[in-house]
Structure 1
Amino acid sequence: MKRVFAKRLFSVSACLATACASVPVLAADEIKVGLMLPFSGTYAQLGEAVEKGFKLHIDEQGGRLAGKTVTYVRVDDESEPSKASDNVNKLIKRDKVDVIVGTVHSGVVMAMAKAAKSSKTLLIIPHAGTDEVTGAMCAPNIFRSSFSNWQPAYGAGKLAVEKGYKRIVTVSWKYTAGEESLRGFKEGIKGSGSSVVSDLTVPFPNTEFQALLTQISALKPDAVYAFFGGAGAVKFVKDYAAAGLGRTIPLIGSGFLTEGVLQAEGAAAEGLQTTLHYADGLNSEVDKAFRAAYAKAYGAGPDVYAVQGYDAAQMLAHGLKATGGDLGKQAGIVKAIETMTVNSPRGAFKLSKAHSPVQDIYTRTVASGENRYTSIAAKGVGSPSDGCAMAAR
């Protein structure tokens, strides 16, 4: 932030010296936010919901934080890791954003974290759950308003044990998020007598699932645990139901299997149980107010992606308030966010020393087009922070 603040001072001085003939000057009361999210492809719906949630909180503050107007630079990262470095460096070096909010794909967020760490640009992650970002890649200026990949999966493991499932098959995309989700699930069933008899994967974002379904049918497990999201989740849930597997082999999953896509999944999702850090029917006063405001603003109900975007904005607002909007005082912004209690629609939470939420994971059951709250699968779940030097601060 000191680098950005210094450049602004230089620009103002240059402007005064040349009568503002040619030097572009950022307004002194402006905060520039780079929204690097997927707005096309498999995860487009997720990126749009994050953006809506983030902007909802800003709009509730009159479009200003700590007295400064918030402006946006919007980048479609296409969930494409090969383009991530160029995209994030353009935001930092060309657009000179003050803070970056993003993203969804775990492979993309790794490049974002690397660039944010080296440039000391504030980064708030409103979805991507890769453990490494708040593990080995952790940094004082990097925060997560969402989850780590293993948190909801760990809760799903506890759900599987509660249901008495002994022989379980896991299915997922073969990429970082999928691998970490499977690890969390296995930790959730560890020592229970339940076991994973086969891990089945397809490359991201492949949605040709017939071979997997044939293998599941042949293995005849007690249950299947699935990790998919967005359009891939819709395709898998529909294919699973069409194959008739749901009648004999229960399907459970990380909450992203049904979150935000129930309308598209239709009857195929009815009765599915998933675990996540948000659910329909929590009925807290904070959640009811959030859901009413979101519905009024966008004409639809919110999902966990919107909640994570909303909470990212809450974290930024709290940090800026602590320094009176002074972006040059990044240490003060960081300390304020580190120590805050986020009054979230999901339930209030604090951050771990690695800057990731410590939160309850809920069991939800799909009923009449909603992911209805059933119970708490795991309470006060933290996240892995192995290798995070900040943990020793």
Structure 2
Amino acid sequence: MTQAYHMSRRTFGAGLAAAALGGLARPARAQGAPLKVGLMLPFSGTFASLGENIAGAFELHLAEIGNRMGGRPVQIVRLDDESDPSKAVQNANRLVGRDRVDALVGTVHSGVVMALVQISRERGVPLIIPNAGNAAATRELCAPTIFRTSFTNWQPAYGIGRALAQQGVKKAAWVSWDYAAGQEAGAGFRDGLKSGGAELVKILTLPFPETNFQPLLAQIPGLGVEAVGSFFAGGGAVQFVRDYAAAGFRDRIPLVGSGFLTEGTLGAQGAAADGVRTGLHYGDGLDNPKNKAFRSAFRDKMKREADVYAVQGYDAAQLLAVGLGATRGDATAEKEFVAAMEKARIDSPRGSFTLSPSHNPVQNIYLREARGGENRVIGIAAESLADPGTGCKMT
């Protein structure tokens, strides 16, 4: 999800060649045979709950449509990727080569998803990304068969930067780990500020996954900024929000961030998070019929509340069903499959969205405020926002 993914196109090409993927033809399958969908997600380790929510929501929509797509019964093949990039090529090869899946859905970790991106590019197997926000997957490494139902790291940060500028903030700083996800989010924050005439005056970073924030916090009073934006997730987000409040900045220099700063972390952050505003494509209290029905159905199935990860998995199933419906379940009919998905309007719990030319959601980024253990939606930070898709050339 937030890990570094410093792998080049050449590195992946060599890795997949070594895995003997390049020479395999996509399998033909009889029309009445089950359609196989590979869910390559983390089902163990740090991100296990995210993987389970994505998979559970995917299966929820599948059940709602009679466990068939394009008239064919659907067989789910689950694979635990363990959020381990070193196993990513092997796992992708297993799904496409041994298990012969017709479509891929994955994953959470940005480093792991790059193996899926490359196999989709080289083999033409449809891929829907239900979380990983790395820009490369739908920018310079984009392909007709690669789609995303989540976000790019740029989008939520752009939204909160734009919201700050609209509120009259003129100067802000950015704090993050020094890795690809933090850099991409920082670029979004800068662009959002700039859209409203504001300026990003300082970027403060520390190596991933260090959490000694004191040297960075010590620099903030001298920067002359009116707000601080940040991108952290998990334990790092918990520690940073706590340390920021303990340093006495919370009421003087508002802390904002990409939504993952407070997504799934509010319980551990406690009162330190109260008042922190974030931008994300989902939030607590979204009042639309689809969201209400989805949350109720998800609660009945999973015995817990839905979150942004569940929404992304649910919409991955909705999008895949559109493509397969247009081809009567034939995932190899690439032209018709892709065309249908590109034209789709998905009725999502987040609010309906379409897809950009680079196959990213064109979606609202909501302005959220942490209060009483919830990320309450208080407005729209950026309406119908698309990732720039820089460097994407569909072939």
TM-score bracket, shorter-length normalisation: 0.7 to 0.9
Question: 2:48 and 2:244 mapped to 1: Cα distance?
Answer: 23
How big is the shift at 1:315?
A: 0.5
Opposite residue 267 of structure 2, the aligned amino acid is: Q
Question: 2:195 and 2:149 mapped to 1: Cα distance?
Answer: 31
Q: Does 1:119 align with 2:123?
A: yes
How big is the shift at 1:228?
A: 1.6
Per the alignment, residue 74 of structure 1 pairs with: 78
How big is the shift at 1:284?
A: 0.8
Return structure 1 stretches of 4+ with deviation > 4 angstroms: 217-220
CA RMSD in angstroms, aligned pairs only: 2.3
Q: Does 1:301 align with 2:305?
A: yes
Per the alignment, residue 40 of structure 2 pairs with: 36
Q: Does 1:143 align with 2:147?
A: yes
SS across alignment from 1:184: helix
Question: 2:69 and 2:366 mapped to 1: Cα distance?
Answer: 32
Gaps of 5+ in 2: 1-23
* TM-score when normalising by structure 2: 0.87
Alignment of 1:151-300 (within 5 A): 151-190=155-194, 192-216=196-220, 219=223, 221-300=225-304
Q: Does 1:60 align with 2:64?
A: yes
Opposite residue 153 of structure 2, the aligned amino acid is: N
SS across alignment from 2:143: coil
Q: Does 1:107 align with 2:111?
A: yes
From 318, 327, 351, the equivalent of 1:323 is 327
1:99-150 deviation digits (Å, cap 9, x = unpaired): 1111122232222211211011110001112222111111111101112221
Question: 2:76 and 2:205 mapped to 1: Cα distance?
Answer: 37
Q: Is residue 45–residue 230 contact of structure 1 (8 Å, CA) maintained in 2?
A: no
Question: 1:312 and 1:379 mapped to 2: Cα distance?
Answer: 21
If each structure's helix is expressed as a fraction of its own residues, which one has the higher value?
1
**Compared CA separation, residues 215 and 80, structure 1 to 2 (3 A):** farther
Opposite residue 185 of structure 2, the aligned amino acid is: S
Opposite residue 151 of structure 1, the aligned amino acid is: Q
Per the alignment, residue 23 of structure 1 pairs with: none
Per the alignment, residue 358 of structure 1 pairs with: 362
Q: Is residue 366–residue 377 contact of structure 2 (8 Å, CA) maintained in 1?
A: yes
SS across alignment from 2:66: coil
Question: 2:48 and 2:295 mapped to 1: Cα distance?
Answer: 21
**Compared CA separation, residues 265 and 32, structure 1 to 2 (3 A):** farther
SS across alignment from 1:5: coil
Q: Is residue 126–residue 331 contact of structure 2 (8 Å, CA) maintained in 1?
A: no
Question: 2:209 and 2:76 mapped to 1: Cα distance?
Answer: 29
**Compared CA separation, residues 288 and 74, structure 1 to 2 (3 A):** same
Question: 2:286 and 2:124 mapped to 1: Cα distance?
Answer: 37
Gaps of 5+ in 1: 10-26
SS across alignment from 1:247: coil
Question: 2:381 and 2:236 mapped to 1: Cα distance?
Answer: 25
Per the alignment, residue 95 of structure 2 pairs with: 91
How big is the shift at 1:60?
A: 1.9
1:163-207 deviation digits (Å, cap 9, x = unpaired): 333332211222222111100110111164532232122333334
SS across alignment from 2:387: coil
* TM-score when normalising by structure 1: 0.87
Q: Does 1:338 align with 2:360?
A: no
What is the count of residue pairs matched by the alignment?
Answer: 372
1:211-267 deviation digits (Å, cap 9, x = unpaired): 333333554632211112233322322332334332332110111111233233332
Identity %: 53
Question: 1:235 and 1:41 mapped to 2: Cα distance?
Answer: 20
Per the alignment, residue 21 of structure 1 pairs with: none
Question: 1:220 and 1:325 mapped to 2: Cα distance?
Answer: 58
Question: 2:106 and 2:219 mapped to 1: Cα distance?
Answer: 36
Question: 1:45 and 1:191 mapped to 2: Cα distance?
Answer: 36
Per the alignment, residue 133 of structure 2 pairs with: 129
**Deviates further, 32-41 or 270-279:** 32-41
Opposite residue 26 of structure 2, the aligned amino acid is: V
Per the alignment, residue 18 of structure 1 pairs with: none
Opposite residue 40 of structure 2, the aligned amino acid is: M
**Compared CA separation, residues 215 and 72, structure 1 to 2 (3 A):** farther
